[in-house]
Amino acid sequence: MNEHTRKRVAVLISGRGSNMTALIDAAKEPSYSAEIALVVSNNPDAAGLGRARAAGIVTATIDHRPFGKDREAFEHALHRVLEAHHIDLICLAGFMRLLTAAFTSAWQGRIINIHPALLPAFRGLDTHARALAAGAATHGATVHFVVPEMDAGPIIAQAAVPVLAGDTPETLAARVLRVEHEIYPAALRALAEGRVAIGTMKKPPV
Ligand code: GRF
């Protein structure tokens, strides 16, 4: 695919960045419709930053701590970096900061997230422990558009895995993570190719 037609993607991380790596690996495929142009972390110690640099991806760190409670100022800095790199699409991948409604609205339709549960079940944190505590027979992962309400945007892709006898939050998380790495690149490709969107449903032909 021509470099000029590939969507420029920023992946936002806070930690180890295994989903980020899955996206970087998928985008190496010449026919993939997006390129990972930038990785941004709010955490200077995120292991994913080193993984991104090792893959030759430009990285930026915007430490949220000096901004204190001023989320707008943090997001302003983030916005400037995204603009400087001509970013078209944002993938949240283990990004542990809540974004304001102003930010998510400005990027609506162009920002997606991966959540380690079958939404709308288990929004929020500690999804694997909660799925086990609830006695769920299946669990999984969801890629969805980001909207102001947390983990509530339209769903793009989901994958289910079985919950097995003797599972711990860690064994279940590892099983879910494997499918995360499959559905996130697939969902980003669909978005970059315009096969999914928010609010463009047309009336079906009669
Ligand atoms: C993943 O489980 C993702 O679903 C959740 O945070 C975790 C990030 O893991 N949002 P990684 O940094 O991509 O390895």
Nearest ligand 1 atom to the CA of 16 is 12
pLDDT at 1 over 90: no
Tokens found for residue 56? 């030759």
Mean pLDDT of the 63-92 span: 97
Mean pLDDT of the 187-196 span: 98
Please report which residue ranges of the chain form alpha helices under DSSP H. 18-27, 47-54, 71-84, 101-106, 127-133, 169-192
Residue of 19, 158, 176, 183 with the most ligand 1 atoms within 8 Å of its CB, for mutation: 19
Find the range with the poorest average confidence among 97-101, 180-184, 189-193, 196-200: 196-200
Nearest ligand 1 atom to the CA of 115 is 4
Residues with active-site annotation: 115
pLDDT at 34 over 70: yes
Nearest ligand 1 atom to the CA of 141 is 4
Q: Is 127 in the pocket of ligand 1 (CB under 6 A)?
A: no
Q: Which residue has the tokens 């190496």?
A: 28
pLDDT for residue 199: 75
pLDDT band at 206 (very low <50, low <70, confident <90, very high): low
Q: Is 180 in the pocket of ligand 1 (CB under 6 A)?
A: yes
The protein residue whose alpha carbon is closest to atom 7 in ligand 1 is: 94
Mean pLDDT of the 15-31 span: 97
- The burial class, CB within 10 Å (0-12 / 13-18 / 19+), for 168 is exposed
Could you please state the CATH topology (level 3) that the domain comprising 3-198 is classified under: Rossmann fold (3.40.50)
Mean pLDDT of the 6-35 span: 98
pTM of the model: 0.95
